[in-house]
Structure 1
Amino acid sequence: MQTLFLLTPETTLRSSRGAAGLCSSTLEKLKGFTCSAEPSDTASSKICDEGSIEGSHKNSLQQTAEEHEDEEEEVKEKESFRLDATKQVPNLNVDSITSLSSVFWQQVGPRMKSIYTPLEQQVIQLKQQHKDALLAVECGYKYRFFGEDAEVAAKELNIVCHLDHNFMTCSIPTHRLFVHVRRLVSHGHKIGVVKQTETSAIKASGANRNALFTRQLCALYTKSTLVGEDVNPVCRLGDVEEEGCGDVVLDPPDSFLLCISESWDKLKKQLTVGLVAVQPSTGDVLLDCFPDGQSRSELESRVLQINPVEILVPSDLSEETHRLLQSIASASTQADDRVRIEKRESAQFEFASAMNTATEFYCHTQEKGSRSLSSVASLESQVICCLGPLIQYLQEFNLERVLRSESSFRRLSFESEFMILSAATLRNLDILNNQTDGGVKGSLLWVLDHTRTPFGRRLMRKWVSQPLTDPQQDAVQEILESHSLTLNSIKSLLSHLPDLERGICSIYHKKEFYLINSSLSRLGNELQALLPAIQSQISSALLRGLLSDTPDLLAPAHSHLKVLNEKAAKSGNKTELFSDLSGFPVLQERREQIQTVIDEIQDHRQEIRLTLKAPALDYTTVSGQEFLIEVKNSLTSAVPPDWVKINSTKAVSRYHSPFLVERYKKLLQLREQLLLDCQREWTNFLDQFGEHYHTIKRAISHLATMDCLFSLAEVAKQGDYCRPEVCVGHRQIMIRDGRHPAIDVLMGEHKQYVPNLTELQGDGRRTMIITGPNMGGKSSYIRQVALICVMAQMGSYVPASEARLGMLDGIYTRMGATDNIYKGRSTFMEELTEASEIIFRATERSLVILDELGRGTSTHDGIAIAHATLEYFIRDVKALTLFVTHYPPLCELERVYPEHVSNYHMAFLLNEPDIATDTDEVQPESITFLYQLTEGAAGRSYGLNVARLADIPDPILHTAARKARELESMVNARRILQLWKVIIIFRHVIAR
């Protein structure tokens, strides 16, 4: 709330005594209290407001009335100020007082008022109840922000902010609420929308007709709770296409709200983390409970998989978890993409409090399919500690009902169902986002996502981040090879669907309900017509099952659609929503009452015609005012004196007779009552539809699966892709002519990616030690192998000429060299932490990728750690392993474990350095990369070649080359000396 600077009239007058007005120094000080906005702010804001006045006449009258109240209040305060000054300073005449008062109010009056206007008092009360939200207050045809809220909103929205009475204020037109709320929410703010809760007609007929319009908070919005047709429509409305809305993201793939709790067992010295994630727009609820370590790697992996837009945590969250969440929240350079973190009282996360909240919530649940209290009690204690605060939080937004449905709850992960991709793996392999700018382009998701629907896009993200252990290549192959018109028709149907998954969670919005229900009905009818062809032409059991079940699951949509009036539903006309009122007796009676009043008004025309002696006279409607009697100004003498003049022009005047005044007032009251009745009947109607929610959601899930299968078929159509053979029960990876899926697409047709062969056998050579020059393609190669394994296991074709792979339970990677400031870890600490997690989690059915382990410390320590770790995986874990290194001693492990280890390097052509004839400078070597995996270890890494490519100055390169020669000579000399010592000892032994 804006800070008020209060000055008394006495102090102000005392400063100006003996002068015609305020002294210059005082004026300068007083100017400091005024608004820092530009002088033209107020004028420009009025221009903007006038340009956006398209609201109803009623709203205009409401706004005018409230502004008039404010003006009267200001006049009274000015007069009071003038009289007080006269009493306290008798020497000043009235003119001086008036002049001083005018200057005083012009400069600082609004800041110094001690009396708030009725509207300001109302805003203060609302703000005290919702201190953490920016409040947009409906005032006639616009929404206004006050105080600090106005300054924040003006900065984020780039609109005018000016001083009005006691507070800074800015405004937005009502028809642009959708756009501006989304912009504020995208920047991490919580927005409250305060609406007028009474209309002109109802207010005029009530006892408080002269009081301020009542207002209350009608909606709260954050990144995860942006639900409703006002701010997040399922379809793209006209507002979205207007200029200036391009920065508003309409359809985010996911908008999960994640709640996290943790507990530390002092006896077992074990940290247990619980989480519950809910997506209010779709109704999906994820839950999990798991042990975690100091690095919070398990939590990080799940957070990256869920990809929440908002996280709910206790105020006493541990420092380690707080650092992790801060690093995730700050990962994106774009403010719109950053995760919003909401801290709540830690008492809400205590088990007793959370259990009481959950018990009270689920005990009063009577809906069909709702979660029972017994099923809630069976959850882990840490999950309940998340569920309680989550219920309380969603109740603030009236979205708690998404937690009632038991069928929407699912465990985040079952190790037997999905391939495990750790947080480091998701990041290092660019599974969901690239590491360059955090965007999707260049990631595996970008390669695979050719879905046509938003709900299909969400499912594809889930498939990519949690690859199934039940591949679906049969369905993909049939779609790829089939020339059936049936599948093409189904593909076309999916291309024109709105977000049905979000839509069925937004059924309480009339426009969206009709859009979603009509789409479901049309889809069901068209699939029903294709059913004979589906049964006869499609051989895949998965495809046939998905398509055959869907029409029956969509049947409830037909009956509910028949009751609705299409035109009224699309326009949002509540009173005309139902085309047949036979099932709604209350609405039918109200309509009859309205028609009776209208008939009386129409009959009154005859009396008016006789009075004015105008047989052809009829009513007119102007600016929303109905049943106006229009009389030429030259004939107004014939108008009875008791008629009420409504408005006039130069040519005509318009009146209401006393009878019309009374009947028109009654008509408006009945219409307002009809709106309330329609809303009540509409809610009951939607409750009936809600009984079929789970059935319809299952149908949408079938459609999402179909969309993802079509997407994978699109991927398979790319050149040189093959269907991989997935061998259950075999530990092997054989990829012939494999390519990196993302780089292959990015390079296009002109620059062909160099393919490579990969062969790993669980019972044979299961470890590859890969050496070679810097920038030779080692990291790209190992990423390529891992990504092909992910693609194969989720049912996709892969970029290779042949592929045969076993089922993997997880892929674990340690790549890159970066520190983590938020977690307080150095580069080497980050390396070893990731390596430690892999050591504890990997099994013989895992793929382990270690890229340059040990490079963050001294050479001897690095070699020792890398050697011991690699030998542990070879001898004990027995996982399929790709190990990239620049340490030649590690290649000796091939001699120690010849049956399980193979040495490889990335091939290159070496151009020998030249020694200049006139100087002794040694030229750095130059090599040509071939990017071909070749058997055998590389002797050197040729780092000076990369230095030359990086434009390191020649003098430095020459010095480095000379130093490298010296060091290499020293090492070779030591090796020769050691070898000579061994020979001498050997000779002595033989001589004995």
Structure 2
Amino acid sequence: MGTKSKGQPCISEFFKKKETKKDGDQKCQKASTQNTEPKNHNLKAFEHGSSIQSVKKTSTIPLQEKHKINDEEEQAQAYPSKRPKQQNGNSVSGNSKSKPDTRKLTPLEKQFLELKANNKDKVLAIQVGYKYKFFCEDAVIASKVLNIVLVPGANNSCDTSSDRFAYCSIPDNRLHIHLRRLLSYGLKVGVVKQMETASIKSVESDNKSGLFVREMTGVYTKATYLGDEDPPRNQNDISMNEDDEGVGDYIVCIDASDKKVGIVAVQPATGDIIYDTFDDDSARNELETRLIFLNPSEIIIIGDEEANIGLKKMVNIITKSGNVISKKRKSESDYRSSINTFFSKSEDIGQYYLLKFPSNILSCISELLEYLQEFKLSNMFLIKDNMSSFSNAKKYMHLPGSTLQALEVFQNSTDYSTKGTLFWLLDYTKTKMGKRLLKKWVAMPLVSRNLIQDRLDAIDDLSRGYNNFIDSLKNKIVKLSRTGLDLEKSLIKVHYSSSHNVSKIDKKEIYLLLLNLDEISSLFRSFSSQIALFKDSVTSRLLEDILQDILDISESTTVEKLLKYITPSALDNNQFEQKVYFFNLQNYPDEGILSELEKIKDIEKKLDEELEKIRVQLNRPHLNYVTNLKDAYLIEVRNGKMINDIPSDWIKINGTKTVSRFRSPEVTKLYKELQYHNDTLLRNCDIAYGRFLKEVDENYASLKTLSDVIARFDCLFSLCDLSSSYGYSKPSLTDSFSSIMIEKGRHPIIEKLGSSTQGYIANDIHMSKDNNRVLIITGPNMGGKSSYVKQVALLILMAQIGCYIPCDKATIGIFDSIFVRMGAKDDILRNKSTFMTELQECSNIIRSMTSRSLIILDELGRGTGTNDGIAIAFSVLNYLIENPAKPLTLFITHFPSLHVFEQNYIGIVSNYHMGYVENYKKDQEFPEILFLYNLVKGVVSKSYGLNVANLAGIPNSIVRYAFQKAEDMRKEKEELNLLKVISKLKVVPQQAHDESKAQLEEIFNSIQ
């Protein structure tokens, strides 16, 4: 809870005050005279279409609270004695003149200022009785974001325009609903809880009339919020939805010095840790690739802030994240020392990190450990099995960020959603952990023939005939998805809770977690013999390993034992009864709970005995206690003569016009005792729940294996569902150099978005090192050139992910990288023109390509003048053809002069174009074009741009004029060429007598 980290958004950013950088007195004077209301243009940041219109005030008071808060200062805070007049209907403190600061701060205000002094980078939500309150500037922000009433007052301790601080409040049972909204605006929120109740304070505290003890129990940002203690409203609302903004986000730490880059990314929602170290260029293209996949919401950059200005700017452009924190670089020994200190109780894990990882990864780990401690999430690093490498050249294909964007792997280029992407095509997963794993499979296609073959064979094994076990498992996965439960996320929440003695998972969620894990275990046990037979019959080693994992864990009854500790019926009751009756005390006998229950039972018996005495005393044999507004054990009598029968020492608690409610001295004494033991019971229940979570966490490894099995099956079933589509075939893989032999291949995404498969034109693709290594593709605009080359790349990706592909037949060599340079776009934020962007992407491809690369270049050179464009395209294509790596290349161009490469490199380079038919109509100057979308041998010199102009709705007169200009330019070019021929012919007779035959042939060749 130290000072604000550099780069973390702070509260003052929402106010845009023009404070002078002088001493504190001048700041106070400025604050007291200045209108502190946020300006309208600043408030626009808070506008939200689905904002909560109002917050209902609840009259429900928790059991531990009295009907009246036992703290006069807190009552004074709740009802300010003086309120400033509002100006313009919404001013907090107006422009009122400053006055001497003669007010006396309440204890609660002092407590707030003490908390705020150490947490200036947070909005503080402070528990006061049954509400959470925001004060001063925090209140202004919260009232605007949450759309709740702001009680005017002073905006800070220096503002003397009011006797009380401005504040707003929310009911405590709505905390997490409002918390989500605050976090969605990029705010960092601290939750301060009241650590004692009135009854416990009255018995145990030395200062019985003093202020309640309050502590910050949770700090949250978008990426670190897990729905802590957020009770689900129904079975389908276990926790924050995966699609909600922020949930599942990564926090990334980057250590970039010169060319060497280290990166560690953590996903608090799952405990996933991804690391990588690599060499990068000055444009940080490799780093960009990783950030596009991770899409982090919070980023830590290690190094000198001034030196990292360019990196910070680039990170903001790629991720659109405002939460970029700069950290000064420490020495390597300091980083190692901090890691040793953190793992002092788990030295073997600490040594694992220190011995395995290089210094630029250790620096990132150290900074993340420090950063996550505030959120009580740093212990994710205790699970070293959650650590995985992002890139492994021997295992995964290299896909640069430009390739992911051009092929629309995760995000389409229209509305930036997933619809129409490769991931959207492949995703038939049912569970959240299955979807996350599939995303990794898509981002990292395999380069090992054996591993790819294992996935393809697994699809065959799972699709072969009817299998009772597989059918039952599919039904269980569907049932699990309907609960909304995320096994992986719930397990890591248990781990966080047990390590930090905080509850990040509520009781219903832990029950549903164990219940579903038990059902999965029971399913595996019931089919154990069939699973063993199935394991012996499968051809996929991947599936064989998964089935072996099932057999290894299916005999364990740990989950069944843990489940017996819980009383399921208690989970449908209110929060108090959930806590008290959560455990089946016969199977989980906790002395702290049992002893308090016994004392409460004894007090309740005494209260019943006292009621009998009161019945006799008042001569009312059928009299019973009543409860009003959570005030229990009240004696209710009608106003009038019956009041005279009430003894004078009885205490009136409340009443109406018709009735009054009392407690006798003995009932008052017993009721206070009952409240104390109820509160003590709740405290003991929390302690017991913490011990229970630790017992569950001790079995984390085996429970995580169960979750992983479900995720892997979910992914395989997803690939099975797509592979069973009409016209999909299993690709054959070859170990030879990269080659593509696909018959009647189809674009998978266009086909799925279309209405039928019959309407899509299939195309062959035949490329290898020795034949058709480079294809030069020309043809009309909108003829399907870009779709065709994207189709080739997507089919290779699908095959190496381990999925069937849409074609009649396919034999594919293994590619280790796919590079795509496509589209014309500038990059204003990075100060790059369209042509500069083209050439930088081309440069990256040239530096990174290998003998197993597939390269796609679309209209290289169109971002500059025609002559320069042709020269660049010619030179790059020539380099790719002659390079010893010999990568397979698809080169789209509108420069027909490049066709000469086919003559110079016979068999290696081939000219193709997309088929079309010219349709001439009467009285029409130029033809209409019918696109055939089939790949045809040969070159086309025309682009038919005027046809596209017609289709785009350009006025007819403009198109006709453009046609006339094109004809004039064509004639001028032909005349110029003719003049050149004539001039050369004139030279021939003069040199005929003097030149040799060979020289004359050279002259005629130049004329041709």
**Same fold, TM-score > 0.5, yes or no:** yes
Query: Structure 1 CA distance, aligned partners of 2:68 and 2:754?
Result: 63
**1:312 pairs with 2:317:** no
**Does the 8 A contact of 1:353 with 1:388 survive in 2?**
no
Per-residue CA shift, 1:825-880, capped at 9, x if unaligned?
A: 11111111111111111111111111111111122222222122112222212011
**1:519 pairs with 2:516:** yes
**Does the 8 A contact of 1:320 with 1:823 survive in 2?**
no
**1:729 pairs with 2:707:** no
Per-residue CA shift, 1:94-127, capped at 9, x if unaligned?
A: xxxxxxxxxx999959998653443333322222
**1:365 pairs with 2:346:** yes
Structure 2 vs 1, CA of residues 239 and 227 (structure 1 numbering), >3 Å: closer, same or farther? closer
Query: Structure 2 CA distance, aligned partners of 1:526 and 1:734?
Result: 43
**TM-score, normalization by structure 1:** 0.85
Q: Helix, strand or coil: the match of 1:163?
A: coil
* Residue equivalent to 1:432: 410
Structure 2 vs 1, CA of residues 144 and 239 (structure 1 numbering), >3 Å: closer, same or farther? farther
* Residue equivalent to 1:11: none
| AA at the equivalent of 1:172 | I
* Residue equivalent to 2:664: 657
Structure 2 vs 1, CA of residues 59 and 290 (structure 1 numbering), >3 Å: closer, same or farther? farther
Query: Structure 1 CA distance, aligned partners of 2:37 and 2:264?
Result: 48
Query: Structure 2 CA distance, aligned partners of 1:488 and 1:986?
Result: 85
How many residue pairs get matched? 908
| AA at the equivalent of 2:874 | H
**1:805 pairs with 2:805:** no
**Does the 8 A contact of 1:143 with 1:173 survive in 2?**
yes
1:300 to 279, 288, 292: 288
Query: Structure 2 CA distance, aligned partners of 1:378 and 1:549?
Result: 27
Query: Structure 1 CA distance, aligned partners of 2:52 and 2:415?
Result: 41
* Residue equivalent to 2:968: 966
Query: Structure 1 CA distance, aligned partners of 2:521 and 2:857?
Result: 51
Query: Structure 1 CA distance, aligned partners of 2:99 and 2:209?
Result: 27
**Does the 8 A contact of 2:247 with 2:269 survive in 1?**
no
Deviation of the 1:586 alpha carbon: 3.4
Structure 2 vs 1, CA of residues 609 and 168 (structure 1 numbering), >3 Å: closer, same or farther? closer
Query: Structure 1 CA distance, aligned partners of 2:572 and 2:730?
Result: 47
**1:747 pairs with 2:730:** no
* Residue equivalent to 2:317: 327
**Does the 8 A contact of 1:755 with 1:932 survive in 2?**
yes
Structure 2 vs 1, CA of residues 683 and 34 (structure 1 numbering), >3 Å: closer, same or farther? closer
* Residue equivalent to 1:192: 190
Q: Identity percentage over the alignment?
A: 35
* Residue equivalent to 1:889: 897
| AA at the equivalent of 1:126 | L
**Does the 8 A contact of 2:410 with 2:421 survive in 1?**
yes
Root-mean-square deviation (CA, aligned residues, Å) is 3.4
- Aligned pairs for 1:499-898 within 5 A: 499-507=486-494, 508=497, 509=505, 510-536=507-533, 539-540=537-538, 541=540, 542-550=542-550, 552-553=552-553, 555=556, 556-569=558-571, 571=573, 572=575, 573-580=578-585, 583-633=589-639, 634-749=641-756, 752-876=759-883, 877-898=885-906
* Residue equivalent to 2:20: none
* Residue equivalent to 1:957: 959
1:257 to 247, 251, 259: 251
Deviates more, 1:795-804 or 1:175-184: 175-184
Structure 2 vs 1, CA of residues 105 and 173 (structure 1 numbering), >3 Å: closer, same or farther? closer
Query: Structure 1 CA distance, aligned partners of 2:38 and 2:825?
Result: 47
**Does the 8 A contact of 2:123 with 2:188 survive in 1?**
yes
* Residue equivalent to 1:268: none
Q: Helix, strand or coil: the match of 1:946?
A: helix
Query: Structure 2 CA distance, aligned partners of 1:666 and 1:158?
Result: 41
Query: Structure 1 CA distance, aligned partners of 2:226 and 2:517?
Result: 20
| AA at the equivalent of 2:911 | N
Query: Structure 2 CA distance, aligned partners of 1:580 and 1:930?
Result: 75
Deviation of the 1:745 alpha carbon: 1.1
Structure 2 vs 1, CA of residues 817 and 60 (structure 1 numbering), >3 Å: closer, same or farther? farther
* Residue equivalent to 1:422: 400
Q: Helix, strand or coil: the match of 1:878?
A: coil
**Does the 8 A contact of 1:534 with 1:544 survive in 2?**
no
**1:495 pairs with 2:478:** yes
**Does the 8 A contact of 2:70 with 2:198 survive in 1?**
no
* Residue equivalent to 1:920: none
Q: Helix, strand or coil: the match of 2:509?
A: helix
**Does the 8 A contact of 2:428 with 2:721 survive in 1?**
yes
Structure 2 vs 1, CA of residues 489 and 898 (structure 1 numbering), >3 Å: closer, same or farther? same
Per-residue CA shift, 1:205-263, capped at 9, x if unaligned?
A: 334343333333221111210113445969866699xxxx99x9448773211111211
**Does the 8 A contact of 2:250 with 2:266 survive in 1?**
yes
**Does the 8 A contact of 2:855 with 2:887 survive in 1?**
yes
**Does the 8 A contact of 2:339 with 2:350 survive in 1?**
no
**Does the 8 A contact of 1:178 with 1:232 survive in 2?**
no
Query: Structure 2 CA distance, aligned partners of 1:461 and 1:313?
Result: 26
| AA at the equivalent of 1:325 | V
Gaps of 5+ in 1: 6-28, 39-44, 79-103, 265-270, 331-338, 917-922
Query: Structure 2 CA distance, aligned partners of 1:938 and 1:361?
Result: 67
Deviation of the 1:317 alpha carbon: 5.7
2:112 to 120, 123, 135: 123
Deviation of the 1:791 alpha carbon: 0.5
Deviates more, 1:830-839 or 1:167-176: 167-176
**Does the 8 A contact of 1:828 with 1:854 survive in 2?**
yes
| AA at the equivalent of 1:360 | T
**Does the 8 A contact of 1:925 with 1:944 survive in 2?**
no
**Does the 8 A contact of 1:229 with 1:512 survive in 2?**
no
2:910 to 902, 925, 936: 902
1:135 to 124, 127, 132: 124
Query: Structure 1 CA distance, aligned partners of 2:726 and 2:946?
Result: 37
2:930 to 928, 931, 956: 928
Q: Helix, strand or coil: the match of 2:728?
A: coil
Query: Structure 2 CA distance, aligned partners of 1:578 and 1:642?
Result: 42
Query: Structure 2 CA distance, aligned partners of 1:177 and 1:810?
Result: 48
- Aligned pairs for 1:137-536 within 5 A: 137-164=126-153, 165=162, 166-205=164-203, 206-230=205-229, 249-250=243-244, 254-264=248-258, 271-314=259-302, 315-316=305-306, 318-330=308-320, 339-347=321-329, 351-365=332-346, 371-469=349-447, 470-471=451-452, 472-497=455-480, 498-507=485-494, 508=497, 509=505, 510-536=507-533
Deviation of the 1:567 alpha carbon: 2.8
Query: Structure 2 CA distance, aligned partners of 1:323 and 1:47?
Result: 37
Q: Helix, strand or coil: the match of 1:784?
A: helix
* Residue equivalent to 1:94: none
Deviation of the 1:30 alpha carbon: 10
**Does the 8 A contact of 2:248 with 2:268 survive in 1?**
no
* Residue equivalent to 1:96: none
| AA at the equivalent of 2:654 | N
**Does the 8 A contact of 2:73 with 2:106 survive in 1?**
no
Q: Helix, strand or coil: the match of 2:627?
A: strand
Query: Structure 2 CA distance, aligned partners of 1:493 and 1:927?
Result: 54
Query: Structure 2 CA distance, aligned partners of 1:215 and 1:129?
Result: 14
Gaps of 5+ in 2: 1-10, 18-31, 44-50, 85-91, 154-161, 498-504, 1001-1008
Deviation of the 1:156 alpha carbon: 3.0
Deviates more, 1:934-943 or 1:374-383: 374-383
Per-residue CA shift, 1:915-936, capped at 9, x if unaligned?
A: 78xxxxxx45432211111111
Structure 2 vs 1, CA of residues 317 and 152 (structure 1 numbering), >3 Å: closer, same or farther? farther
Q: Helix, strand or coil: the match of 2:388?
A: strand
Deviation of the 1:910 alpha carbon: 1.8
Per-residue CA shift, 1:452-486, capped at 9, x if unaligned?
A: 00000001111111112322111112333433343
Structure 2 vs 1, CA of residues 809 and 233 (structure 1 numbering), >3 Å: closer, same or farther? farther
